[in-house]
Amino acid sequence: MTGRVFPESFVWGSATAAYQIEGAAREDGRGPSIWDTYSHTPGRTRNGDTGDVAADHYHRWQQDLDHIAELGLGAYRFSISWPRVQPGGAGRFNQAGLDFYSRLVDGLLERGVRPVATMYHWDLPQELEDAGGWPVRETALRFEEYAAGIVAALGDRVHTWTTLNEPWCSAYLGYASGVHAPGRTEPAAALAAVHHLNLAHGLAGRVVRELAPTAELSVTLNLHVIRPESASAADADAVRRIDALANRSFLGPMLGGAYPADLLADTAGVTDWSFVRDGDEKVAGVPLDVLGVNYYSSTLVRAWDGHSARSDADGHGASAHSPWVGADDVDFLPQPGPHTAMGWNIDPAALTGLLLRLHQEYPGQPLMITENGAAFDDVVSADGRVHDERRVDYLRRHIAAIADAREQGADVRGYFVWSLLDNFEWGYGYDRRFGIIRVDYDTQERTWKDSAHWYRRLVETGLPDQPAD
Ligand code: IFM
């Protein structure tokens, strides 16, 4: 292969999230979040793991930024911990917390790396959950206040402000299936959370427009690619219903101006959506400079006849409660391998399809892959290295899938690998490793895996077709 497959302007980056890497959970005035409470509740996370120490990034951030610079990355996507900068989720801001992110942003700029800041990657201040959490409107208003505080402090030193990371997880895993914090299993509350997250996104987006007019605005959605088991009308309807819950409950208000009518009809037995007030959808539709897409695997469904054995292979844990509110008659089917250590199937072609769908439905909307990557059971070899060829293969194939979508017209402007470092993988604790840089949790030593070396060469050349080693 000769020449660059990706142009010089294509942005290569890596992504992390505050609770997954920072540690320092009780330092410098940080308050508790729902993930502190959840991870400290027996039985909630694997091995009882918590983010108390994580990858100790709060103390090692300079060294971690040096790794980013050595990788040659053009951008770094991190999240701001709401309870670190505004411990109670309302009122007083914590200067020490703001100073940490200010130093981080300056450290990136000094290294020539574009800061991409996510305002919310799941760590809601516990006090706000105690007052009702995302199912109540007040939380969206508190988010607007929080956004104003951090944008005022960091302003347009941040190149791109991303309001929310994967609101699907916050709403449906946090309030319906309960496999994420706060661990509630209340279907109607999950749909109210969907709406208040959409509203929060819009309110925070307006804050960015007002206070940092030169910064870019985005949101990151984990959009689902859903396929039917058969060509039957019933299976097609199963796809439609899951698409409404998974994708269009966010894309509708954010990019289409309204909630889709079929979503409201499908869930009428769960809620009447009376929490949506006049004008809310318009607020949620704040224009985006870039839509962030997180993609890992695809989903296979069928209509359930009510009698046959169910598979329920939707990969969201053994919870008896489904995240798929109001869609009990949809069954999720196991997919052929290979799978990653998460049990997720590997389906790069689905990413091409997703990007082309977005290109067709939202023409002119720039796109960015804000997360893509894989957990595997990494082994440190006798030579001290981690020869993670399966991760390299996964990344190479997904990046080629993005090149395919670009060739067919999708305006994909960048790619952020998940993740820079091994980190706290939520309910799986430290049992799953997504990093291109290994973290030894006993010593906090960082070691580049082969995938990091491979990624550095890709960033340098723009060619995915690099050797693994
Ligand atoms: O680790 C998570 C991240 O926090 C959000 N997106 C998916 C990743 C892998 O599960």
DSSP codes joined into one string, 19-69: HHH---TTSTTPPPBHHHHHHTSTTSSGGG--SSSTT-HHHHHHHHHHHHH
User: Does the N-terminal peptide bond of residue 338 adopt cis geometry, omega within 30 degrees of 0?
Assistant: yes
From the CB of 123, is ligand 1 less than 6 Å away? no
Is 426 annotated to bind a ligand? Reply is yes
Q: Whose CA is nearest to atom 4 of ligand 1?
A: 17
Q: b/e string for 349-385 if b means 16 or more Cβ within 10 A? A: ebbbbbbeebbeebeebbbbbbbbbbbbebeeeeeeb
For residue 370, what are the contacts with CB-CB under 8 A and spacing of at least 6? 15, 77, 116, 162, 165, 218, 220, 292, 293, 294, 416
Is 70 annotated to bind a ligand? Reply is no
Superfamily of domain 11-461: Glycosidases (3.20.20.80)
- Contact between residue 83 and residue 130 where contact means Cβ atoms under 8 Å apart: no
- 371 catalytic, yes or no? yes
**3 state SS of 200:** helix
- 166 catalytic, yes or no? yes
Is 296 annotated to bind a ligand? Reply is yes
For the chain, which ranges sit under pLDDT 70? 1-3, 315-319
* Structure tokens, 235: 């299976």
From the alpha carbon of 375, which atom of ligand 1 is closest? 9
d(CA 461, CA 5): 9
pTM over 0.85: yes
Q: Which helix (H) or strand (E) holds 96?
A: helix 95-110
pLDDT given at position 468: 74
Domain ranges of the chain: 11-461
- Contact between residue 72 and residue 459 where contact means Cβ atoms under 8 Å apart: yes
From the alpha carbon of 423, which atom of ligand 1 is closest? 1
d(CA 444, CA 157): 29
CA angle 67, 86, 206 (to 5 degrees): 85
From the CB of 371, is ligand 1 less than 6 Å away? yes
| Ligand 1: centre distance to CA 425 (Å) | 7
- Contact between residue 131 and residue 138 where contact means Cβ atoms under 8 Å apart: yes
Q: In the β-sheet with 299-303, what is the strand arrangement from edge to edge?
A: 226-228, 299-303, 330-332
From the CB of 17, is ligand 1 less than 6 Å away? yes
pLDDT given at position 1: 45
Largest CA distance in the chain: 63
CA torsion through residues 57, 62, 68, 71, sign? negative
pLDDT given at position 3: 63
Residue 303 half-sphere exposure toward CB, CA atoms < 13 A: 12
3-state SS, one letter per residue, for 141-185? HHHHHHHHHHHHHHHHHCCEEEEEECHHHHHHHHHHHCCCCCCCC
Query: What would the pLDDT profile of 258-304 be if each residue is shown by its tens digit?
Result: 999 999 999 999 999 999 999 999 999 999 999 999 999 999 999 99
For residue 48, what are the contacts with CB-CB under 8 A and spacing of at least 6? 39, 42, 429
Is 359 annotated to bind a ligand? Reply is no
* Structure tokens, 125: 């201040």
| Ligand 1: centre distance to CA 33 (Å) | 18
Q: Kindly report the number of other CB atoms within 10 A of residue 145's CB atom.
A: 16
From the CB of 294, is ligand 1 less than 6 Å away? yes
pLDDT given at position 312: 86
Q: What is the CA radius of gyration of the chain?
A: 21
| Ligand 1: centre distance to CA 54 (Å) | 15
Residue 356 half-sphere exposure toward CB, CA atoms < 13 A: 12
d(CA 54, CA 423): 6
| Ligand 1: centre distance to CA 457 (Å) | 25
Instruction: Choose, from 144, 166, 216, 281, the residue flagged as catalytic.
Output: 166
From the CB of 422, is ligand 1 less than 6 Å away? no
Is 165 annotated to bind a ligand? Reply is yes
For residue 451, what are the contacts with CB-CB under 8 A and spacing of at least 6? 388, 391, 392, 395, 436, 468
| Ligand 1: centre distance to CA 269 (Å) | 31
